[in-house]
Amino acid sequence: MTGSILIIDDDPVQRRLVEAVVTRCGHGALTAENGRLGLECLQAARAGEIEAVVLDLAMPEMTGIEVLEAMGRAGITTPVIVQTAQGTIDTAVSAMRLGAFDFVVKPVGPDRLKGAVEAAIKFGALAGKARTRKSGPGAERRIGLDEIGASPAMQRTAALARKAAATDMPILIEGETGVGKEVLARAIRAAGPRAGKPFVTVNCGAIPENLVESILFGHEKGAFTGATEKHLGKFLEADGGTLFLDEVGELPPEAQVKLLRAIQEGEVDPVGARHTIKVDVRLISATNRDLAKRMAEGLFREDLYYRLNVLAIPVPPLRARTSEIAELAGIFVDQARSAAQIGVSGLSKDALKLLAAYDWPGNIRQLQNVIFRAAVLAEGDRLEVSDFAQIASEIGTIRPAEPPRADVPSHVVEVPAQVSETIDEMSLPLLDSRGEMRSLAELERETIQAAIDHYDGRLSEVARRLGIGRSTLYRKLKEMGIDADEGRVGRLAS
Of 154-163, 240-249, 477-486, which gets the smallest average pLDDT?
477-486
Within 8 A by CB and 6+ apart from 492, the residues are: 445, 449, 480, 481, 482
Nearest-angstrom CA–CA distance, 49 and 481: 44
Of 70-79, 163-172, 183-192, which gets the smallest average pLDDT?
70-79
Q: Are 19 and 42 in contact (CB under 8 A)?
A: no
pLDDT tens digits along 482-492: 765 533 444 43
Where does 4-134 sit in CATH, by number? 3.40.50.2300
Q: Model pTM? A: 0.67
Class at the top of the CATH hierarchy for domain 417-489: mainly alpha
Is pLDDT at 47 greater than 80 in this prediction?
no
pLDDT of residue 435: 67
Fold of 319-395: Helicase, Ruva Protein; domain 3 (1.10.8)
CATH 1.10.10 domain extents, the chain: 417-489
Tell me the three state secondary structure of residue 487.
coil
CATH 3.40.50.300 domain extents, the chain: 145-316
For residue 107, is the peptide bond before it cis, meaning its omega torsion is within 30 degrees of 0?
yes
Within 8 A by CB and 6+ apart from 208, the residues are: none
Of 29-38, 294-303, 430-439, which gets the smallest average pLDDT?
430-439
- What is the share, in percent, of the chain residues with pLDDT greater than 70? 84
Nearest-angstrom CA–CA distance, 133 and 138: 10
User: Mean pLDDT throughout 279-304?
Assistant: 93
Is 145-316 assigned to CATH 3.40.50.720? no
Q: Which helix (H) or strand (E) holds 67?
A: helix 64-74
Nearest-angstrom CA–CA distance, 367 and 332: 8
Q: How confident is the model at residue 89 (pLDDT cuts 50, 70, 90)?
A: low
Residue closest to 4 by CA, chosen among 28, 21, 26: 28
Is pLDDT at 402 greater than 70 in this prediction?
no
Nearest-angstrom CA–CA distance, 471 and 360: 8
Helices (H), 166-309: 181-190, 212-217, 234-237, 253-265, 291-296, 302-308
CATH 3.40.50.2300 domain extents, the chain: 4-134
User: Mean pLDDT throughout 4-18?
Assistant: 92
pLDDT of residue 9: 93
pLDDT tens digits along 427-481: 566 766 676 777 777 788 888 888 887 777 777 778 777 877 776 787 788 777 7
Say how many C-beta atoms besides its own lie within 10 A of residue 251's C-beta.
25
Of 25-34, 55-64, 130-139, 156-165, which gets the smallest average pLDDT?
130-139
Outline where DSSP puts E strands in 57-126.
80-84, 102-105
pLDDT tens digits along 172-226: 999 998 899 999 999 999 999 999 899 999 998 878 888 888 899 988 887 777 7
- Residues making up the chain, counted from first to last: 494
DSSP 77-88: ---EEEEE-GGG
